[in-house]
Structure 1
Amino acid sequence: MTEVRVPTLGESVTEATVATWFKKPGDKVAVDEMLCELETDKVTVEVPSPVAGTLSDIVTAEGETVGVDALLGNIAEEGNAGPEEMKPRDTTARSEDGPASGAAGQGSGQGSGQRSGQRSGQEGGQSVDVMVPTLGESVTEATVSTWFKKVGDTVAQDEMLCELETDKVSVEVPAPAAGVLSEIVATEGTTVQANGKLAVIGGSAGATAPAASAPAETQYSTPPAGNAGPGKDVKDGPAAEKAMAEAGISRDQVQGSGRDGRATKADVAAAVAAANSAPAVSSAPVSAPRAPVHADDAAREERVKMTRLRQTIARRLKDAQNAAAILTTYNEVDMTEVMALRNQYKEQFEKKHGARLGFMSFFTKACCHALKEVPEVNAEIDGTDIVYKNFVHMGVAAGTPQGLVVPVIRDADQMSFAEIEKAIAEKGKRARDGKLSMAEMQGGTFTISNGGVYGSLMSSPILNPPQSGILGMHKIQDRPMVINGEIKIRPMMYLALSYDHRIVDGKGAVTFLVRVKEALEDPRRLLMDL
């Protein structure tokens, strides 16, 4: 029997949500075939099969939050799948003194000691406190987003009570014991601290059977035909919610086929395909809790919940504005020499190195050269200290269908033009495919943002904290310029350097931008280290 575990998610990322299972118990799997998909606040991680065989059981179901190296399922290798190994495991069954077999330390993040203590108190007829589970490293608080139960409702053990939201993940909180929800301490919208009290469950003679009493097979059954949505106590996985938000379709348009009627990404894709093939009809807005100014505007409004990535982008950008003293200085660069050099050697470059010669390698090299002369632009503030970086980890902003991400090219100052172009192409493809890990987007010391690819003529980029500088590239546009007393048409680009004025003075910012300009207008300076 081979265990399938959560892979490394990246620096400082300790947990993820199981978004979709592509296989079910009893299915044959090949080596490296995708088994399931995990989701963090920024990236989606696919988990491949480590061996060929049969998926004997699923330990962590869709929608559950798991830590790094947590057990996801088990695979019986080819030739070793006996009758017992082929039988799905009852993932909700628990012994009297511990959590589910093979899933210790998983689920909602509560320890087995806490869970067993709560259960023994319930068996004695006492009330049981529902506490905030472990939220992950460096996460100290969460917001109660949804209560699936109300006071007076009967709950089974491990039935979902509410959902918490942090800046990284959504966490479902299960009932620690069977009984009646007698009190809700933290209502929806309340911010709670880690290990804070959420509610109280009282004992009830009619509610002592745990949810695990159902047969194991029901854990993977589909809802009855015609039931387009999950039950009121079941929430769709984050991957499905994000897919619905991006597609702009409402939940009642999706036929859920996942566990307990949950919608999967495949269900959303099927609903989108069906909508595209059907005749165009006017649809009601996803939700409109606020009354429009004019009644006839209601049918033309649409409200879509922000994805976790978009929420994180919004928070980080606002934090940057609140924390740093952001100032922007501008200059313009004549791209004649860079364009001529690129046109002369691009075919030979691509033939030898297998990579397209673009402008980003020139700008990366020019910035690395300038950062050596003005090191404070490559530094960061840590409390009352300034941390100077004697290396350049270049962040390259990339737009994706899900939002802006900034993969990092490590030790860019040590790379050749070909190595930089290959790294940027590879990171860009992984960003568009949603395959970047958290580690690939952390540790940058300076960032380049190319708004010119979208036609931007001039902009003021926002810092990517804790960095102290970001260079904005823009559209190359022919403009009349005075060259040696004569008016000539030249391909010009505006450059914008946004910097943290707490650490970078105006002189340093202007010097940096001028050095970048000089290197681009005479690329030979880069070869001569001038």
Structure 2
Amino acid sequence: MTTDIKAPVFPESVAEGTIATWHKQPGEQCERDELIVDIETDKVVLEVVAPADGVISEVVKGEGDTVESGEVIGKFAEGESGSSGGGEEKAPEKEAEASSTEASEPAESDSGKTSEPAAESSGEEPMLSPAAKKLAEEKGVNPKQVEATGRDGRVLKEDILRHLEQGPQESTPQGSGKTAEQGKPQQPPEASMPAGERPEKRVPMTRMRASIARRLVDVQQTTAMLTTFNEVNMKPIMDIRQSYKDTFEKRHGIKLGFMGFFVKAACEALKRFPAVNASIDGTDMVYHGYQDIGIAVSTERGLVVPVLRDADALSVADVEQGITEFGKKARDGKLTIDEMTGGTFSITNGGIFGSLLSTPILNPPQTAILGMHKIQERPMAVNGEVVVQPMMYLALSYDHRMIDGKEAVQFLVTIKELLEDPARILLDV
């Protein structure tokens, strides 16, 4: 029985998506609930799984194609086997597995060296995924020269891109027992390039990256964004962390970082300055009676901002646990739309990449964002003496339409005071 493979129903905030990767190709065996295709939207990557055991009979939308919510992207044949053809009987599992292994693994010659790939030595064309075939034709790449990493020796789009990055490969005479990669001397890629060549690589912008770029431009054009700076002595927080990090990890099963203190300090400061926790909706100013803190997380696809709900009610351990889970989900592409929707205030930490000072950009419709930076030892005047202290610059970007300069400065000073004397958070002073 053949059924339609449809794109998931997108949330209201997502209009369309793009086919990112087909993990299974037509005729390839699939198991029920096995991942078959990724669809990238402006915010997240959605996964489509096999509805039952069977094979993909047809790909309607190829990699890079735009799809709408619920649109048919392929056809799925339930109960069929990718190894059988027409009315032939399905081969036994073990036998099929053995033949697949033989086809995908390079044969060993008598001398123990790896022989040439079967497709190249026999002159046969290797199997290519639809996206790889299209890219190879556009770039004029010979698929026989590309190292295949797909199942059963299939050349994937990523293999073509990797081949283009590595540059032209020197061919190896037949029968030498070495691949082209093994045969050439180890040297920097630029050394093998012709003199005067200036290589370039053109890669389409991902949907998420394009969305981020569009939002950042919109923010700068539609808000009255200003940034105010201050600095905080991190020694009190570092002393607490040094004293209790082992006990904390043993008790809660998570490492004690700095973000938990910053989130708790931000929540307390937001209660004192409600305008910083507000948002603008048209001509209305919306004041929120709760603190949902967005934490900026960097991923290979771009910057995402998952939200800690009701952060004021969370303990430091809860905050650290939540941020760790967000980081893992972001790296695996498992964040949901709900986890990145909303938020009344955001925190971004450029210090983990070595940034000493920056001006963070607002995350609309929020009206403020706090930027953390690198901790660096600097000489400071303490009680009339010069003392070396671990200092961090803080930056608060805010929408001047909603927040006056006085409120922004006082908010940042409050953050500074709470971090330099953490007892204030407990005593609410």
Aligned equivalents of 1:252, 1:436: Cα separation in 2: 37
Aligned equivalents of 2:38, 2:7: Cα separation in 1: 10
One-letter code of the match for 2:398? Y
Shift of residue 340 of structure 1? 1.1
Alignment of 1:125-274 (within 5 A): 225=125, 236=131, 251-253=139-141, 255=143, 264-268=156-160, 271=163
2:208 corresponds to 1:320: no
Report if aligned partners of 1:54, 1:77 keep a CA contact under 8 Å in 2: yes
Q: Tell me the equivalent position of 2:115.
A: none
Shift of residue 362 of structure 1? 0.9
Choose which of 346, 356, 364 in structure 1 pairs with 2:255. 356
Task: Give the TM-score normalised by the residue count of structure 1.
Answer: 0.60
Aligned equivalents of 1:84, 1:500: Cα separation in 2: 66
Further displaced range: 57-66 or 477-486: 57-66
Q: Tell me the equivalent position of 2:178.
A: none
Shift of residue 453 of structure 1? 1.0
Aligned equivalents of 1:74, 1:85: Cα separation in 2: 18
Q: 1:360 to 1:344 in 2, by over 3 A?
A: same
SS at 2:140 equivalent? helix
Aligned equivalents of 1:18, 1:253: Cα separation in 2: 23
Shift of residue 335 of structure 1? 0.8
Greater helix proportion: 2
Q: C-alpha deviations, 1:101-129, integer Å up to 9, x for none?
A: xxxxxxxxxxxxxxxxxxxxxxxxxxxxx
Aligned equivalents of 1:281, 1:488: Cα separation in 2: 49
Q: Tell me the equivalent position of 1:470.
A: 369
Report if aligned partners of 2:128, 2:156 keep a CA contact under 8 Å in 1: no
Shift of residue 252 of structure 1? 3.2
Choose which of 405, 412, 416 in structure 2 pairs with 1:513. 412
Q: Tell me the equivalent position of 1:302.
A: 200
Shift of residue 316 of structure 1? 1.7
Q: Tell me the equivalent position of 1:54.
A: 54
Q: 1:354 to 1:459 in 2, by over 3 A?
A: same
2:332 corresponds to 1:419: no
Report if aligned partners of 2:360, 2:397 keep a CA contact under 8 Å in 1: yes
Contiguous gaps of at least 5 residues in structure 2:
89-123, 170-180
Report if aligned partners of 2:25, 2:129 keep a CA contact under 8 Å in 1: no
Q: Tell me the equivalent position of 1:401.
A: 300
2:350 corresponds to 1:448: no
Q: Tell me the equivalent position of 1:76.
A: 78
Alignment of 1:478-489 (within 5 A): 478-489=377-388
Instruction: Indicate the RMSD between aligned Cα atoms, in angstroms.
Output: 3.7
Q: Tell me the equivalent position of 2:98.
A: none
Shift of residue 348 of structure 1? 1.9
Aligned equivalents of 1:15, 1:495: Cα separation in 2: 38
Q: Tell me the equivalent position of 1:129.
A: none
Q: C-alpha deviations, 1:293-322, integer Å up to 9, x for none?
A: xxx97x336353451333333222221111
SS at 2:265 equivalent? helix
Shift of residue 429 of structure 1? 2.2
Report if aligned partners of 2:267, 2:291 keep a CA contact under 8 Å in 1: yes
Q: C-alpha deviations, 1:152-201, integer Å up to 9, x for none?
A: xxxxxxxxxxxxxxxxxxxxxxxxxxxxxxxxxxxxxxxxxxxxxxxxxx
Q: 1:55 to 1:369 in 2, by over 3 A?
A: same
Shift of residue 226 of structure 1? 8.4
Aligned equivalents of 2:352, 2:159: Cα separation in 1: 34
Amino-acid identity (%)? 48
One-letter code of the match for 2:202? V
Q: Tell me the equivalent position of 1:151.
A: none
SS at 1:300 equivalent? coil
2:36 corresponds to 1:35: yes
Aligned equivalents of 2:69, 2:424: Cα separation in 1: 47
Q: Tell me the equivalent position of 1:181.
A: none
Q: 1:336 to 1:5 in 2, by over 3 A?
A: same
Shift of residue 3 of structure 1? 6.0
Q: 1:497 to 1:479 in 2, by over 3 A?
A: same
Shift of residue 265 of structure 1? 3.6
Aligned equivalents of 2:415, 2:378: Cα separation in 1: 20
Report if aligned partners of 2:129, 2:157 keep a CA contact under 8 Å in 1: no
Aligned equivalents of 1:305, 1:417: Cα separation in 2: 41
SS at 1:490 equivalent? strand
Q: Tell me the equivalent position of 2:422.
A: 523
Shift of residue 43 of structure 1? 3.5
Q: Tell me the equivalent position of 2:101.
A: none
Report if aligned partners of 1:4, 1:75 keep a CA contact under 8 Å in 2: no
